[in-house]
Amino acid sequence: MARAAGASVYSPDMLATKYGSRPIKVTLRSLEVLTALGSFAAKLALDRWRGQLDQRMRSRAAELREIFTKLGPTFVKIGQGLSTRPDICPPEYLEELAQLQDALPTFPNVQAFSCIEEELGLPLESIYSSISPAPIAAASLGQVYKAQLKYSEQVVAVKVQRPGIEEAIGLDFYLLRGLGVLINKYVDVISTNVVALIDEFARRVYQELNYVQEGLNARRFKKLYADKEDVLVPDIFWDYTSAKVLTMEWVDGVKLNQQEAIEKQGLKLLDLVNTGIQCSLRQLLEYGYFHADPHPGNLLATPEGKLAFLDFGMMSETPEQARFAIIGHVVHLVNRDYEAMAQDYYALDFLPPDVDVSPIVPVLKGFFDDVLNSTVSELNFKTIVDGLGNVLYQFPFNVPAYYALILRSLTVLEGLALYADPNFKVLAASYPYFAKRLLTDPNPYLRDALIELLFKDGRFRWNRLENLLVQGSKDRDFTAKDALQPVLKLLLDPDGEQLRVLVVKEAIYVTEAVVLGTAIDTYNSIPDLFKTLVFNGNASQPFKFSLEEQQKMLELRDRIFRIWGLLTASRNFDPSILQPVLQTLQEPAARNLGGRVVGGVTQRLAARLLQQVLLS
């Protein structure tokens, strides 16, 4: 940890002091950047004047990607950042900039090895018994070697920071911040604090320069997510790690975009992608700490079939309120409740509370009514992202960094899966997780979302519960016990009277359906000869309610039986899990609820009996 004491930290004042006295260097870099970006802006202006802006958007987006690559590490990072901002860039630019790779020329071994010796305070030959003669991979901020530690013979990956990287990005951020000050002062059209955005982005990039921090990120990530047997996070070797050198366990594996090589190992790409999706959902919505750069180079398929995560320089966190709001947003999408979806943008921190969301509602409706012709699980995630991107681009949204990175994360995973199966849908793979969380999480926000999903116009939607159980049971962590307890606690809550009224009414319907449905089935199983003898020569239906009503009762009863079957078929089901339920039912509030149900059922069946007598 002491080796990280000298790690660079972003400080606008320090940059101003450093480069304010170096006008020639600043001028030369300014000219280089302005020439590249100015010529690009001129071409855009010409396209607009000729009316070819939309027609040439794709080619211009590719040109911008090349410009950012040539301008170096800072602009590569800027391009990658813009690729996650649908509120700033049109879809064509998002797709092109997403292709930006951290691929820059390697720097000489002499410089790299000298950096290792200087940072670790030891000669190279006393640290490693062997080290690769050339870098295994090169990125914008550093390059990686494969080596073997001398003391343990452990094979490791050694990441060495690019020489002069601090100087390069420091100068660029000094220039960009100066531009931001001018924009804030003179450009009234842009209401966002541009300087604040640049400062936040610069802090993130500088954090990536501190390899000790990256090691701490990896350790935290491993603690949270490597409990699953199909996820691998490499160990960090702290004795050989500093601010500019990171040593971690070597992972043998194949990049996730190399399908043929993966299948040669007897593995299935879709299984690995599904593991990535489930792990990503836990990252984004359970603990909120997530890998913010999951491109194919950072995801490996190991020979054992595990999914290995690499490169923990860029991490992000989802605020707790936003985690629950995202799940609620999916519920509102399922219900096609576009007004509630628009309101979600407050909780997601897309909009300040004083912004009117009513104009957004018809746009959401126009887009989702079209794409929701398919079921939610059949939707292509990229279609939704592109559609939402168009919505966000039309309105004054401020998409938080965490949300943009979430979209990028899931889009990358779906893109990888589409190589193997053009019909793969990331939402279909994600829905079991959402269903499990809705059924088992005691958080009040999610409990309200569950009620909203299951109840409509005073009636319980049993088909929705059945579907949630079907989907939730596909999640390996789902159990019936987890689903039953929170529901009962919610039902018996002192503030749950409105829900209890709905549940009592529904319990009456269900009991009637089970009792009368069983009577109908029993009658139908009697041979016609006996029906004639028992019912005075009349073998027709003796029940004095319509065949349509009888059919509805049978359908409801059968659905209830299927739901019970789903609960009992869940993993590790044991009748003893009902003991806490029975204990809860002994509470006074529960006994009162049971009494109301029994009274309602008695009245309902008595009314049916009276109907039979009067109409016979």
Q: What's the DSSP call for residue 232?
A: E
A 10 A CB-CB count for 48 gives 12
Q: How far apart are CA 424 and CA 274, in angstroms?
A: 10
pLDDT digit string, tens, across residues 338-347:
888 888 888 8
Q: How far apart are CA 32 and CA 71, in angstroms?
A: 8
Residues 314/209, Cβ–Cβ less than 8 Å: no
Q: Which residues contact 255 (CB under 8 A, 6 or more apart)?
A: 296, 297, 299, 300, 301
User: Which pTM value belongs to this model?
Assistant: 0.74
**Token pair for residue 309?**
């995560």
What is the full DSSP assignment across 254-268? Answer: EETT-HHHHHHTT--
Residues 396/360, Cβ–Cβ less than 8 Å: no
Look at residue 132 in the predicted model and tell me its pLDDT.
96
> 572 or 261: which carries more pLDDT confidence?
261
The sign of the dihedral angle between the CA atoms of 6, 12, 17, 21 is: positive
Lowest mean pLDDT among 327-336, 430-439, 522-531: 522-531
The one catalytic residue in 293, 344, 441, 475 is 293
- Rounded to the nearest 5 percent, the helix, strand and coil shares of the chain are 65, 10, 30
Residues 234-261: what's their mean pLDDT? Answer: 92
Q: Which residues contact 29 (CB under 8 A, 6 or more apart)?
A: 171, 172, 175
**Token pair for residue 460?**
């319980």
- Binned at pLDDT 50, 70 and 90, residue 570 comes out as low
293 is catalytic: yes
Burial class (CB in 10 A: 0-12, 13-18, 19+), 100: buried
Query: Rounded to 5 degrees, what are φ and ψ at 143?
Result: -145, 160
Question: Does pLDDT of 300 surpass 60?
Answer: yes
* Domains of the chain by residue range: 2-101+167-206, 256-440, 479-615
Q: What's the mean per-residue pLDDT of the chain?
A: 80
